[in-house]
Amino acid sequence: MDAFDISALSGIQTFTVNALLIVAIFCIAAVFTVWYTCRTQIRFSQIIVGAFGYLIWIFLYSILSSSAAASLSGIGYACFYVFLTAVTIELVRYCITKYVLISRFHLADAAVGYALGFAGLYLLASCAVYYFSCYTTAHSYLSNGAEAFFASLTDEEASSAYELLADLSSRSGFQILLTGVNRVFYLLRNVFLSILVWYGMTDGKQRHWLYLVPLLHVIAILPDGLYSAGLIEDSIVSDLAVCVLSGIPIALGAIQYRKHENATAHYQPEKLRTRRHRGSL
């Protein structure tokens, strides 16, 4: 207790703490909203493949990042973070799409299922759990008071809790909520990048997407890399920039999906009937 400057935590606001819980719920709601919207078009096996792809990526990323990240800083770390994240995610996406999805499925909906499994596991197992954990820590601090809160923790737990609380004291509830919006764009970005990769592999005239998707991914997460390296100090600027830049692959993927699905519907009467039924509602 004496080792911590409790006055530095005076900036923690109730709204900031509640925003952590809102973001945790928001991440869960986003995943199930996308699943509910696409549930008639995707298969559960595709979601499982996507979740497995996420676990492969985590393993690959942890191995490659542990060796070099500690020795880098500034722009070097930003570039390393951005390129390693984008390249490893796209490598896993490319391999699974080519060797698993295309050989078993025939529509781009398989790419949607894969992306939902990949990004959904990240939002549920990482983001939602992390923000809920932050909420319980901060809520306990505000409810019990500083002395009782830190007295109930070990030295290591108290140190971690103090770092978290010190960070929250310097952030507003709006900043926390904006990170939730950022996570939704992460989910949508993965869906439409997966769609572009699918068309790049299945349509000979669309192979340029296989080269453009990694570039679009790098551009979209560049603000995150700059923020992680300390080159962007305001998280609001970083999150807003990520959302805006993520809109590029989202828009391109949506355009391609609509164009291909409209063309496919002419050869699939059941899809055409579904579209007409939806249009009459």
Instruction: Report which of 7, 118, 113, 4 is spatially closest to residue 54, judged by C-alpha positions.
Output: 118
Dump pLDDT digits (tens) for 252-279.
999 999 888 766 544 454 444 454 444 4
What whole-number distance in Å separates Cα of residue 152 and Cα of residue 83? 42
What whole-number distance in Å separates Cα of residue 118 and Cα of residue 138? 29
Instruction: Report which of 168, 103, 128, 98 is spatially closest to residue 32, judged by C-alpha positions.
Output: 128
Contact 124, 27 (CB under 8 A): yes
Q: What is the mean pLDDT of residues 106-122?
A: 93
Q: What is the mean pLDDT of residues 47-69?
A: 88
What whole-number distance in Å separates Cα of residue 254 and Cα of residue 262? 12
Residue 218: pLDDT band (50, 70, 90) is very high
Q: What is the pLDDT at residue 65?
A: 82
What SS3 class is residue 230?
coil
Dump pLDDT digits (tens) for 59-99.
999 888 876 656 767 888 889 899 999 999 999 999 999 99
Dump pLDDT digits (tens) for 135-186.
888 888 888 888 888 888 888 888 888 888 888 887 888 888 888 899 899 9
Q: Would you kindly state where each structural domain of the chain is located, as residue ranges?
A: 6-280
What whole-number distance in Å separates Cα of residue 114 and Cα of residue 53? 8
Q: What is the pLDDT at residue 67?
A: 66
